[in-house]
Chain A
């Protein structure tokens, strides 16, 4: 039982690794944790396209925020 769980875990880990590499190749800028969150959200039925739009929007917002911060600094 433990080994089964172990192998399962390994498989999952492997999968995540692959996905991470794919995302890295595609320059998505997602790190492991963000990617795993995205995976969970997609599994739970969230529209991936919407999700990606959200992420882009968030990035843009944070960018502008940073820029404004730098300017004020």
Chain B
């Protein structure tokens, strides 16, 4: 063989021709030339680079000619070829394959009948063919062994004797191992067992990798079980292992004869089928459900992906099984499928499927944000594989939610057909209630990886953007409000975001929140003068602008004493305008002044103008979000209260004025002095009371609350803060002005006091009228007397004097009536005030208790009212029980 190496191609070719034709060199000249010509002409070799393809091709050909046994051996030898380290083989096997492939179709009949072989080899081939028909497998190997050791010439006798000579130690070993490979364990080529048994001395003891167990009759073999199991893995009932519906598990038919270990192993493996079914059922059911939503669909998609991987594994196993089937002989011990091997290989997929099945169970019936929360809760596990799997699914599942979120906070758009996002929009709400009612949080849909605070902020951001667009008609692109940032376009972004929820996500939301809210507040303050309106409310509705209110009251006084039915709105509006123009209010913003208006409340019978008059302030547009209808109602109630109190003050001023003026005049009537004194006292009591009340209202209630409100509004970060601060302001004002439900008794007391004051005013008026009349008459009398004296007559006649005296007497008789009336009035007034004080002392509000101190600073009432004598300490914190 070595000598052949150095020969040139021509020489080789010639010797080839000699061999094939069996002629001597001289005779093959003609053929040789032909050969040279053919070879020289053909330049482009079609070399199959892939030996696998070649071997597959060849196998197919063998199949075609039904040379069943030979092609298994071909596969065997292909393995051998591929396993070997000789690089030459691997390089050129394609060529050889081409050689063989070319040769094959022509020589498609089996060896025994091919008789045109060169004579020198016929014997060898003939012997071989004889041996072939007996048992294919082993004879080939032994002939191989023969050729290895004895060269090309056949020694037929050594075929059957088969003891490999010891000359090539290396040769013996591969022979033995080859025999081992040839050991058939599977059922199909069981006939090969027999000849092997007849060669007991063949080679060294076979290192079998398999224990051939003695089998019982009719017992199912492991390979059949393996086949079944592979079907069960996909959820299809196998021959022996079927799904039993009532136990909801895969059971092996009890009729089947099976040893216990195999039964156990296959039961363990069948669990995978059960898990697979569970997951599959879920995905199938959900894919039909149209209202499942985007989150659910992505969940199903991720489950599908996992199942695809699983199926891939199954197909690999299947192909493995097929390979074994085709060979009929187990080639390498490492690649056979047994139940044990399956157990080990399917361990990882089993844990994955278990996780998926658990997820499926847990997520039954959930959708949207709930689903994401469920998946997220499963991510809290110590097992890193499970965690990775769940994280992966979570990133896919939360991707739609994050998409929603980004669209919402950057564009203010909400396209949520399946109600999966945690911000819900109510389509029935119109724009005036947009801020309060239109958008709300769907708490069930908040995923567990988003905190409540974040969710609220998100809601607020989107609300602000929508508010800007619809109510303020400000369509600045969101890029101006918040710097544009890329949304979660891919699930990878979502995964990144999820891994850093505390940091990046929070930052994004915070940034969007600050920018949007600031912009919104800017717009409101700049374009809609929110703060100015707030101040205007204070000035007009809460009687902040003193000079204006005073002037208005002055002007309105003659109008409002008339009964309410005679009042006309336009008259009053005209008066309002006059008042505005005459005072500092005229310098106010025109925007504010045009909203100021008069409103006439509902008229009940017996009402004077005082009872129905009210100021009003029109709000619309974005301002109405802060000053809602309820707020305006509150404002009107407070205005009413304040207006009444102011009226009392006004009344008492009038009384005092009257008193001051008339005191001097009526000095000449000493009999009136007692009555007048009483009047004065009562008036001063009333003045003191009202004074204290006004102080309380103005300073303790209004100013303090206003200050707090103003601070809050200046520091407010978003519109919600402003609305909340404003509402709190109104609430505190109302409760402190005794207008809420708890202080109803106090309020009625106060009203009673006010009524008393008015009665007193009317009483005093009538008193003064009669007194002044009397005074005027007396003066007249004196004047007449004087005049008559001047004329030289008697100043007064007797009957005139008598008349005068009678009149004076009459007048003086009315005085006690007046006095008693006043006394009653005083008494009544004082009792009311005492009751009021008692109620104040037991009230829960501290400032009211202090008011009671101020009202009764000199314990004037305390002396009269025993209940007031109880020290404040005993009433501290005590519930107002029956007092």
Q: Verify B16–A61 contact, CB threshold 8 A.
A: no
B159-192 contact mask (Cβ, 8 Å, vs A): 1 or 0? 0000000001011001000000000000000000
Among A10, A28, A39, A47, the residue within 8 A (CB) of B171 is: A10
A26-70 contact mask (Cβ, 8 Å, vs B): 1 or 0? 111101111011111111111111111111111101110110000
**Interfacial chain B residues near A13, Cβ < 8 Å:** 148, 168, 171
Q: Verify A52–B102 contact, CB threshold 8 A.
A: yes
Q: Verify B147–A17 contact, CB threshold 8 A.
A: yes
Cα A44 to Cα B23 in complex, Å, equals 25
Q: Does B870 count as interface, using CB distance less than 8 angstroms?
A: no
Cα A20 to Cα B89 in complex, Å, equals 13
Q: Verify A43–B92 contact, CB threshold 8 A.
A: yes
For A14, A27, A59, the residue with the greatest tally of chain B CB atoms inside 10 Å of its CB is: A27
Q: Verify A53–B77 contact, CB threshold 8 A.
A: no
Q: Is the interface of A mostly helix, strand, loop or mixed?
A: helix
Cα A61 to Cα B18 in complex, Å, equals 12
A5-34 contact mask (Cβ, 8 Å, vs B): 1 or 0? 001001111110111111111111101111
Q: Verify A39–B96 contact, CB threshold 8 A.
A: yes
Cα A25 to Cα B17 in complex, Å, equals 22
Q: Verify B84–A62 contact, CB threshold 8 A.
A: no
**Interfacial chain A residues near B116, Cβ < 8 Å:** 29, 59, 62-63, 66
Cα A27 to Cα B62 in complex, Å, equals 10
Query: In chain A, what residue has the closest Cβ to B124?
Result: A31
CB distance from A38 to the nearest CB of B (A): 7
For B21, B28, B92, B99, the residue with the greatest tally of chain A CB atoms inside 10 Å of its CB is: B99
Q: Does B22 count as interface, using CB distance less than 8 angstroms?
A: yes
Binds A, one of B37-45, B422-430, B732-740, B850-858: B37-45
For B77, B104, B110, the residue with the greatest tally of chain A CB atoms inside 10 Å of its CB is: B77
Query: In chain B, what residue has the closest Cβ to A23?
Result: B100
Cα A45 to Cα B17 in complex, Å, equals 18
**Interfacial chain A residues near B100, Cβ < 8 Å:** 22-23, 26, 28
For A24, A32, A45, A46, the residue with the greatest tally of chain B CB atoms inside 10 Å of its CB is: A24
Among B19, B86, B128, B171, the residue within 8 A (CB) of A33 is: B19
Q: Verify A32–B19 contact, CB threshold 8 A.
A: no
**Interfacial chain B residues near A18, Cβ < 8 Å:** 77, 80-81, 84, 89
Binds A, one of B4-12, B379-387, B454-462, B635-643: B4-12
**Count the A-B residue pairs with Cβ separation under 8 angstroms: how many?**
189
Q: Verify A50–B42 contact, CB threshold 8 A.
A: yes
Cα A59 to Cα B228 in complex, Å, equals 51
Q: Verify B84–A15 contact, CB threshold 8 A.
A: yes
**Interfacial chain A residues near B170, Cβ < 8 Å:** 7, 10
CB distance from A62 to the nearest CB of B (A): 4
Cα A9 to Cα B147 in complex, Å, equals 15
Cα A43 to Cα B95 in complex, Å, equals 9
Q: Verify B39–A22 contact, CB threshold 8 A.
A: no
**Interfacial chain B residues near A55, Cβ < 8 Å:** 16, 20, 103
Q: How many residues of B contact A (CB 8 A)?
A: 76
Among A21, A29, A49, the residue within 8 A (CB) of B46 is: A49
A contact residues, range: 35 or more
Q: Verify A56–B168 contact, CB threshold 8 A.
A: no
Query: In chain B, what residue has the closest Cβ to A34?
Result: B19
Cα A24 to Cα B110 in complex, Å, equals 10
**Interfacial chain A residues near B70, Cβ < 8 Å:** 25
CB distance from A22 to the nearest CB of B (A): 5
Q: Verify A50–B20 contact, CB threshold 8 A.
A: no
Q: Does B880 count as interface, using CB distance less than 8 angstroms?
A: no
Q: Does B526 count as interface, using CB distance less than 8 angstroms?
A: no
**Interfacial chain B residues near A36, Cβ < 8 Å:** 1, 4
Q: Verify A53–B102 contact, CB threshold 8 A.
A: yes
Q: Verify B81–A27 contact, CB threshold 8 A.
A: no
Q: Verify A40–B12 contact, CB threshold 8 A.
A: yes
Q: Verify B140–A24 contact, CB threshold 8 A.
A: yes
B73-109 contact mask (Cβ, 8 Å, vs A): 1 or 0? 1100110110011101100100110111011101111
Among A12, A50, A51, the residue within 8 A (CB) of B41 is: A50
Query: In chain A, what residue has the closest Cβ to B30?
Result: A61
Given A17-B144, A26-B58, A39-B96, CB of A57 within 8 Å of CB of B12? no
Q: Does B876 count as interface, using CB distance less than 8 angstroms?
A: no
Cα A42 to Cα B102 in complex, Å, equals 14
Query: In chain A, what residue has the closest Cβ to B17?
Result: A58
Q: Verify B107–A29 contact, CB threshold 8 A.
A: yes
Give residues 776-793 of B contacting A (CB, 8 Å).
none
Q: Does B152 count as interface, using CB distance less than 8 angstroms?
A: yes
Cα A42 to Cα B4 in complex, Å, equals 13
**Interfacial chain B residues near A34, Cβ < 8 Å:** 16, 19-20
Q: Verify B89–A26 contact, CB threshold 8 A.
A: no
A11-B85, A31-B19, A48-B47 given; name 19 further pairs at CB < 8 Å.
Answer: A11-B84, A15-B84, A18-B80, A18-B84, A21-B140, A22-B77, A29-B107, A37-B13, A39-B92, A39-B96, A44-B12, A46-B39, A48-B45, A50-B42, A51-B39, A57-B34, A58-B20, A59-B20, A59-B116
Residue numbers of A with Cβ under 8 A of B are: 7, 10-15, 17-29, 31-34, 36-59, 61-63, 65-66
23 contacts between A and B (CB under 8 A): A12-B86, A14-B86, A14-B174, A21-B73, A21-B140, A28-B99, A28-B103, A29-B114, A29-B116, A29-B117, A31-B117, A33-B152, A38-B16, A47-B43, A48-B102, A49-B42, A49-B98, A53-B42, A56-B106, A57-B34, A58-B17, A62-B20, A66-B116
8 closest A-B pairs by CB: A32-B152, A50-B42, A52-B102, A62-B21, A54-B35, A27-B107, A28-B103, A50-B39
